[in-house]
Structure 1
Amino acid sequence: MINSDWEGPWVTADHAFNIVRQGIEGGDRLFTNISAYDDYLAYVVNKKNYEPGNTLALIAPFLIAFGLDNDFLVKKAKDNANFIAGSIKAIELLRRSYTVNIISTSYHQYVHYTAYLAGVPEENTYCTWFPIDEYASEMSGTDKDLVREMARTIISMPPMDIDTNAGEDVLDDNTVRSIRQMDCFFWDILPSTGFCSVLEEIKPIGGTSKYEALISALDKEGQDLKQSATIGDSITDWKMLDLTRDAGGLALSFNGNEYAVSNCNVAVMSGNCMVTALLVEVFERDGLGAVEALVSDWGWPSIKELYQQGKVDSAIYNAFRHAFTGSDFPHAVWVTEDNQDKTVEVSKRYRRSVRGTQIGVLG
């Protein structure tokens, strides 16, 4: 069974970033500062009951206050349905033999539309439910004015420098000031407005919630973590990758950042997703040991040998060969303490190249 994040491993877009950037003037700065604040809450101070990925709850009041609606979110899903090369074909081939589940932090408007394009049924998707029109109808004009004013404040803030591996004492004065302003707004002011229901009810699928969705997907088919090919690329995927790796399953990072690479057993760096299909196929047919042996001696001869041994489906092998003959051959690494830092460096370079610098640097 394949249990995968969506944005990053298969599509290039970050739907949340795009709708804020395209729907609100100055939205790129608004989103990146709130995203940095999300990192601060989740990893610097470890706020109780707070998960990485809760950015999608924090930006929701701003989307509502600036008059964005469900039609806008769906339109931008269609506009930004940008698949990584090989994605559609890889998913099609994998679904012939295996269940493919999408476990994504993204809003349901984006996941459901793009999953449909990829042939993945809605019942095989786990994502953040956001009935934006229902919430908008309940908000007063005064509350919306308050949120719009705070948006202008956040947009005017300098970029926030958050080191998730360091403590609060290393934060610069501007960042501390910005954090205090957002603390006051999100946890003191906003809960006293009609937007309190938005913060309370929107439950982004990230961190622990992604892991819980993974377990739910496995339970449906009576499988356990050892049988899961779990795929991710970012901070919201670390837990499901880490626990899959510990259980003996395939934990695969695709162009991942340091959070994904440090919690996986296989890191892939490529501009084409057919490499993911190949490695998942080897895992499903011959187990994790076969994947380790392959990536430890990575190259055409080893791949061809597995195919000749009948351990790779002919359609997947031929699609892989077509994707990479005469083009940039993918990197695949069995991650160890010795090679982790170098792998992170290469993976982040591919991440920026495939997804773009603005999205690639997000957690």
Structure 2
Amino acid sequence: MTPQKLICFDLEGPLSPQDNAYEVVALIPGGREIFEMISRYDDILALEGREGYEPGDTLALIVPFLIYHGITKEDIRRVSSRAEIVKGAGELVMHLKEDGWDVKIISTSYREHAYSIGSRIGISGEDIACTELNLEDIAAGMREETLSLIGDAVSELLGHRGDEDDMVKFLDRFFFKLLPDTGYGNPLERVRVIGGKRKVDAARMFAEGKGLKLGDIMVVGDSITDCRMLDCVKREGGIAVAFNANRYALPHANFALATLDMRFLDLLCEHFPDKEHMIETVQKWQQTRGIFEHDPGKIPTDLRTRLIDDLIDDLTDAGGFIAPYFHYLEEADKGLMEKVESVHARFREKVRGIASILG
């Protein structure tokens, strides 16, 4: 009997380079600066293990500022419509489906963005777990005193010249003391962001829907919001791939891929679920990668797939080829991990651009 094959992709990074929330907040004065501070605050709370906080809850914390400036769902859709697709992602998804894979998306992104990108690469809404945001409903119940408080917070953040500890103290007080006192409530309860543990829950839900366990599936992620999902799948015997990942995600994966074209992931998918074969393939690739960089025609048949054959032909015809980096991480020492982080940082910046600075 042919084994069932399920793969769950994070969206922002592996499928689309845009950080949609970052671009939406950029519509408001000083928005990027505010988002970067709250994103750093998100990293701090996630890393310290703050009770009730999940990585990616930034998307709940920015909602008061979106409402204060009159941002709507249509604005989110409009920003999303300008988002690019990671090179090769659409072709990979189509190929995987033809090869019998069930393809899902698990994303912190607001629904408007997740569904937009999903529709463009052939993944329907029923196969997407993402963040539901009812902006209009929340805005309708906003009182004048709440809006005034948010306005004061905007001024404070844009004028912030203190150290990181001061920023954390201010945001703690604003989000979890002052804002709830206005009747807005706990911002984390207003919007349930699909990040951290909730990504694990979504992956398990998708797996169980096919009669599988986490150890039977493959997941792909790149940032702090994916750490738990990557780690849980890896620990249960599944395949967790860090794609152009940051320093938070890499230690939680068992495989890593740094590339400009998503189609190279097919080299791992081709051998799933044979983990030992995948390890041998990755190690062989990395030992001879330098040769491929200068002459992709020397890539042997056992390191190719039909999709990768087409990809190499396309890149060669275009006059350029940047060989990807594959790594097996479960036995990686500190030195190798530092090298992998450096490689992924370079590819992450090339693919994600300005969004690469976010955790």
TM over 0.5: yes
| Structure 1 counterpart of 2:236 | 247
Matched, 1:348 2:350: no
> For residues 139 and 323 of structure 1, what CA distance do their matches in structure 2 show?
53
| Structure 2 counterpart of 1:321 | 312
Give, in angstroms, the shift of residue 256 of structure 1: 0.2
Contact kept in structure 2, 1:30 and 1:154, CA below 8 Å: yes
| Structure 1 counterpart of 2:260 | 271
Runs of 4+ off more than 4 Å: 299-303
Matched, 1:304 2:301: yes
> For residues 239 and 91 of structure 2, what CA distance do their matches in structure 1 show?
21
| Structure 2 counterpart of 1:168 | none
Aligned residue for 1:262, secondary structure, equals: helix
In the TM superposition, what whole-angstrom CA distance separates every residue of 1:63-90 from its partner, at most 9, and x where no partner exists? Answer: 01111111111111112x2111111111
Unpaired segments ≥5 residues, structure 2:
1-5, 293-297
> For residues 228 and 258 of structure 1, what CA distance do their matches in structure 2 show?
23
Matched, 1:69 2:72: yes
Give, in angstroms, the shift of residue 205 of structure 1: 0.8
* C-alpha RMSD of matched pairs (Å): 1.7
Matched, 1:83 2:85: yes
> For residues 211 and 319 of structure 1, what CA distance do their matches in structure 2 show?
34
Aligned residue for 1:196, secondary structure, equals: coil
Give, in angstroms, the shift of residue 361 of structure 1: 1.7
Task: Provide the identity percentage.
Answer: 31
Contact kept in structure 2, 1:256 and 1:351, CA below 8 Å: yes
> For residues 199 and 259 of structure 1, what CA distance do their matches in structure 2 show?
22
Give, in angstroms, the shift of residue 14 of structure 1: 0.2
Partner residue of 1:53 out of 56, 60, 81: 56
| Structure 2 counterpart of 1:163 | none
Q: How does 1:135-174 map to 2 (within 5 A)?
A: 135-158=138-161, 174=163
Aligned residue for 2:272, secondary structure, equals: helix
> For residues 184 and 330 of structure 1, what CA distance do their matches in structure 2 show?
45
> For residues 143 and 184 of structure 2, what CA distance do their matches in structure 1 show?
9
Aligned residue for 1:282, secondary structure, equals: coil
Unpaired segments ≥5 residues, structure 1:
159-172
The residue type equivalent to 1:321 in the other structure is I
Contact kept in structure 1, 2:266 and 2:308, CA below 8 Å: no
Aligned residue for 1:332, secondary structure, equals: strand
Matched, 1:105 2:89: no
Contact kept in structure 1, 2:175 and 2:186, CA below 8 Å: no
> For residues 199 and 53 of structure 1, what CA distance do their matches in structure 2 show?
11
Contact kept in structure 2, 1:274 and 1:319, CA below 8 Å: no
Give, in angstroms, the shift of residue 26 of structure 1: 0.5
> For residues 152 and 95 of structure 1, what CA distance do their matches in structure 2 show?
49
> For residues 311 and 279 of structure 2, what CA distance do their matches in structure 1 show?
19
- TM-score of the superposed pair, with normalisation by structure 2: 0.89
| Structure 2 counterpart of 1:292 | 279
> For residues 165 and 314 of structure 2, what CA distance do their matches in structure 1 show?
48
Check 1:86–1:292 CA distance in 2 against 1; reply closer, same or farther (3 A cut). same
Partner residue of 1:332 out of 326, 331, 347: 326
> For residues 340 and 260 of structure 2, what CA distance do their matches in structure 1 show?
16
Contact kept in structure 2, 1:294 and 1:303, CA below 8 Å: no
Check 1:64–1:248 CA distance in 2 against 1; reply closer, same or farther (3 A cut). same
> For residues 38 and 317 of structure 1, what CA distance do their matches in structure 2 show?
38
| Structure 2 counterpart of 1:200 | 189
Partner residue of 1:25 out of 25, 29, 47: 29
> For residues 41 and 317 of structure 1, what CA distance do their matches in structure 2 show?
41
| Structure 1 counterpart of 2:3 | none
Aligned residue for 2:358, secondary structure, equals: coil
> For residues 279 and 159 of structure 2, what CA distance do their matches in structure 1 show?
49
| Structure 1 counterpart of 2:356 | 360
| Structure 2 counterpart of 1:38 | 42
| Structure 2 counterpart of 1:235 | 224
Give, in angstroms, the shift of residue 306 of structure 1: 5.5
Number of equivalenced pairs = 337
The residue type equivalent to 2:321 in the other structure is S
Give, in angstroms, the shift of residue 253 of structure 1: 0.7
- TM-score of the superposed pair, with normalisation by structure 1: 0.88
> For residues 165 and 232 of structure 2, what CA distance do their matches in structure 1 show?
34
In the TM superposition, what whole-angstrom CA distance separates every residue of 1:26-63 from its partner, at most 9, and x where no partner exists? Answer: 0011000011111121213x211111111111001110
Q: How does 1:205-224 map to 2 (within 5 A)?
A: 205-224=194-213
> For residues 30 and 209 of structure 2, what CA distance do their matches in structure 1 show?
43
| Structure 2 counterpart of 1:162 | none
Give, in angstroms, the shift of residue 323 of structure 1: 4.7
The residue type equivalent to 2:262 in the other structure is C
Aligned residue for 1:25, secondary structure, equals: coil
The residue type equivalent to 1:25 in the other structure is P
The residue type equivalent to 2:94 in the other structure is E
